[in-house]
Every structure is written in C-alpha cells, then in structure tokens.
Amino acid sequence: MKQEQDVYLKGINSISGWLIAVQVFIILNAFGWIRNMELFFGLLGEKDKIIESQKIADPFLYNAFIYYEIAASIIFTVFSVALVYYMIKRSRYFQVMFIVYIVLDLLAEALVLVVFNSISETPLITTEKLIFSLAIGVIFIIYVRISKRVKQTFTI
C-alpha cells in the first residue's frame, strides 16, 4: 500500500504530462527572444545605413524600436531562464511567475503593435502573432490555474 502511494505521489510531483508542454513553451519562447536579440544587435550597427537606404520617415521611432527590442529580448531571456529554474525546483512561486511572464509577453507584443506599427512593413504578421500568443497564453494560464496536478506539483 505504501509503495503504491509513493509511486502515485512521485507521479504527481514530477514534471510530466502537460507540464512538459509548458516547459517546452518557455524554452522555445526563450530561444525566440535570443534570436530576436541576435537580430536586433545586428541591426544596431547597421541602423544608420538602413535609415538612409530605406528612407525611413521617423528615424527616432526606428531607433527606439531597435533599442526596445534589444531590452525586451534581454529581459525576457533572463525571465525565461528564471522561470525554468523555478519550474525545475518546483517552487510555489512558479505559477504566479508564469502568469506574469505570459501577461508581460503579451503586453510587449501589443506595445510593438500599437507604438511601432507605423514603421513595420508587415503589421498583419504582428497582429496574427499577437492573436496566436493570446490564444496560447490563455490556454496555458487556465491550465496552470485550474490543474490539480500543477497545484500539487508546485506546493514545495
């Protein structure tokens, strides 16, 4: 009887099932931010040439966009690493941190859409990405808030 209970509790406290999907989401999102950081660090050295060659109407907004993307990439990469750490440690703070992470990620994407839309060559892609991220974010937030497995896993 005790052995069956230990196996059951071990299964509950482990990161498996849909929690793997959450972990994969966080890791893939981190790689996306790292790719974004690499891209915009590359654009940082070439921004003056790009502004001149493409005759960008608002160079200040273009510069702000590049610096915003670099800063957001660094912040979200660090936040992603912290989130994976707290997930592996099965910290009780993981659920709140994950929800904050999703909300801040959506706000960062919405800010790009609202503020920097005028310099974007593909506003439709930005809108579609925001809608997709919103749908995925809502699904994961509902799962993290409602799932009994998540509640039992992250109570340590």
Dump pLDDT digits (tens) for 9-25. 444 556 656 778 888 89
Q: What is the pLDDT of residue 122?
A: 67
Count of H helices and E strands in the chain? 6, 0
Q: What pTM, to 2 d.p., does this model score?
A: 0.79
The stretches in the chain having pLDDT less than 50 are 5-11
Count the Cβ atoms, other than its own, within 10 Å of residue 75. 13
Distance CA 36, CA 21 (A): 22
> Most distant CA pair in the chain: distance in Å?
75
Dump pLDDT digits (tens) for 55-68. 777 778 888 888 99
Q: Which of 9, 151, 4 is nearest to 90 (CA)?
A: 151
Q: What is the pLDDT of residue 6?
A: 47
